[in-house]
Amino acid sequence: ACALGRTPPPPPPSAVRCQAAGACFSAHLANSTYAESRSACGRRRGDLAWVSGEAELRLLLGLLAAAGSAPSLFWVGLKRNASACTDADQPLRGFSWDGGGAAPREVPAALGRWVKEPVRSCLAVRCAGLHLAAAAPGGDRGWGWKE
């Protein structure tokens, strides 16, 4: 999932959603690594997606739900550098948004939902994505960050 500027390249209409006064997000289905996904977003003049609040989360969840129906993990710009340790007291557990200057440095505590707690480590770079669970009978899909 990429965060793009206000004038994204022309993709299929269902692949991009924009905020009224903010960034545009696009979804790209490919089996790729974090680094490959980050590079692909860069080729589209963007960065891996970030979430600064509930409005961005709803927009991104809607876009990703439309992109595929199976439970999926989408790379977003969550990364923990080797010098940072896992911090169970923080919503992002020591991860931060990797990307351009517009990427927020923190998310509200309510957005700190993890499908599985990240590995407790301070030794290696770690990346996390946005995991979408299968749709529930009411049509809603669960979500959470996953290393």
Q: Which residues pair with 96 in a beta bridge?
A: 79
| SS3 call for 63 | helix
pLDDT at 44: 83
| SS3 call for 11 | coil
Fold of 2-146: Mannose-Binding Protein A; Chain A (3.10.100)
Residue ranges of domains in the chain: 2-146
pLDDT digits (tens), the chain, 147 positions: 666 655 544 444 447 888 777 778 888 888 888 899 889 888 888 888 888 788 888 888 888 877 765 668 888 889 998 888 888 888 889 888 886 555 556 667 778 899 989 988 888 899 999 988 876 666 566 899 999
What is the distance between the alpha carbons of residues 107 and 105, in angstroms, rounded to a whole number? 7
What is the distance between the alpha carbons of residues 117 and 124, in angstroms, rounded to a whole number? 16
> Which residues are CB-contacts of 96 (< 8 A; sequence separation ≥ 6)?
78, 79, 80, 84, 105
Chain centre to alpha carbon of residue 84: 19
